[in-house]
Amino acid sequence: MKNTKFLLAASIAVAALSFSACSTNSTSNANTVSVGSSTVQNGASSGTVFKMTEVASHNSRTDCWTVINGKVYNLTAYIASGQHKPVIADGCGIDATQIFNNVAKHSGKKAQDALAGLLIGTIGQ
């Protein structure tokens, strides 16, 4: 179980360093994500607020969003790259905060910086 959590976190960290994430409903710019009429810049400190039901609809390997500590991250492009362990898909469409935070090194600057590049918004009520 510890290895699974580590692999999920490592995959997220590598994704942030290597790829700009985009969803299947994204614009042609890989650094943006379109949601309805809103376009969100990946990694931007955007004021975009998503409902958990919206995140839950992005629950597959080809369209993967996750929530960690109240923030929404898009992992789709990283998963599409194939350069990851399959366990990363376990976080698609859910609040993966507990999984992520149960790994001590995720509280470090490196992991937090890596996530920043995949940020698309926050979770709301």
Indicate the burial class of 67 (C-beta count within 10 angstroms; 0-12, 13-18, 19 or more): buried
Q: What is the pLDDT of residue 59?
A: 97
Which pTM was predicted?
0.66
Determine the distance from the C-alpha atom of residue 95 to the mean position of all C-alpha atoms in its chain, rounded to a whole number: 10
| Range from 7-11, 34-38, 61-65 that averages highest in pLDDT | 61-65
Q: State the CATH architecture for 2-123.
A: Roll (3.10)
Q: What is the pLDDT of residue 29?
A: 38
